[in-house]
Amino acid sequence: MNRLDRKMAELKGQNRAGLVTYFTGGDPDYDTTVELLANLGAAGTDVIELGMPFSDPVADGPILQAANIRALQGGQTIERMMAMLREVRARDDETPIVLMGYFNPVRRYGTARFFADASASGADAIIIVDLPLEHAGPFRAQVEQAGMHLIAMTAPTSHDKRLAALLKPASGFVYHIAIAGTTGAATPDASEIQEAVGRLRRQTDLPIAAGFGIKTAAQIREVAQFADLVVVGSRLVDVLAREGRDQALGEVASLAAALRPNAA
């Protein structure tokens, strides 16, 4: 049982959904990201989703594309991602961290080496956006051997047969993409998310996260009625870019309060 498993058990015991906050590693720079990540748990984040910058992030909208560019221009690499994880873990060894990225940088680093190093550095799971189910098998074994989860992603267009194939080997949680499109591109329809989550629950007992397009406390409260995790990314990355680290942490605290029944 790693940090992610413990967090999901904790949330279940508290009978509430958890907040997943996304930031891109190295945006706007290495030191700012370390300070930000090290303080996210205290601000109310339940799970950190840490983006690994890539030059062609096809699933990302303009805000996250710009974050990827800033990080890469600042010299962020996979090696620096590992160092970043280690620095954060020296200050927060409890908040789960889920790496999110694309397959090409992982392949170049060496898949088995990547998963082993990521786990040793403090990651608990990974999402590889462009790794098709049909090719995931060998890499899933490497992820599991490293003690992490390979997170399955589902889309509004996923039919039941496809869902069954995706969910059978899944672990950790299931990430449901709430909109057909790129991150932050549109506002998701809560009733459609509810229907999709219902379909997923008929096929898996894993916790279900919903993300893409969720920006406000009101949206979080609505989605939290039927999802186990609510993911906010573009909104937070935008605040970080425009207003800085402290304001981004303040926004996290504000959004986290929407999920905590005893919050003022």
Give the pLDDT score at 181: 52
pLDDT in tens, 227-258: 999 999 999 999 999 999 999 999 999 999 99
Mean pLDDT of 68-72: 96
Strand 18-24 relative to strand 125-128, pairing = unpaired
Question: Of 46, 49, 228, 238, which residue is the catalytic one?
Answer: 49
Read off the pTM.
0.95
Question: In this model, does residue 38 exceed pLDDT 70?
Answer: yes
- Catalytic (active site) residue 192: no
**Lowest pLDDT segment from 65-69, 85-89, 134-138:** 134-138
Give the pLDDT score at 56: 86
Output 160 or 27, whichever has higher pLDDT: 27
Q: Which amino acid is at 39?
A: N
Give the pLDDT score at 182: 52
How many angstroms separate the CA atoms of 148 and 171, rounded?
9
pLDDT in tens, 144-194: 999 999 999 999 888 889 999 999 999 999 999 987 655 555 677 889 999
Question: Of 27, 46, 60, 238, which residue is the catalytic one?
Answer: 60
Question: In this model, does residue 263 exceed pLDDT 60?
Answer: no
Closest C-alpha to 189, from 199, 201, 177:
177
Given a contact cutoff of 8 angstroms between Cβ atoms, the answer to whether 128 and 106 are in contact is yes
pLDDT above 70 coverage of the chain, percent:
96
Give the pLDDT score at 186: 60
pLDDT above 90 coverage of the chain, percent:
85
Confidence band of 142 (pLDDT split at 50, 70, 90): very high
Give the pLDDT score at 264: 44
Helix (H, G, I), strand (E, B) or coil at 1: coil
Domains and CATH numbers, the chain: 3-257 (3.20.20.70)
- Catalytic (active site) residue 60: yes
Residue ranges of E strands in 47-160? 47-51, 97-101, 125-128, 149-150, 152-154
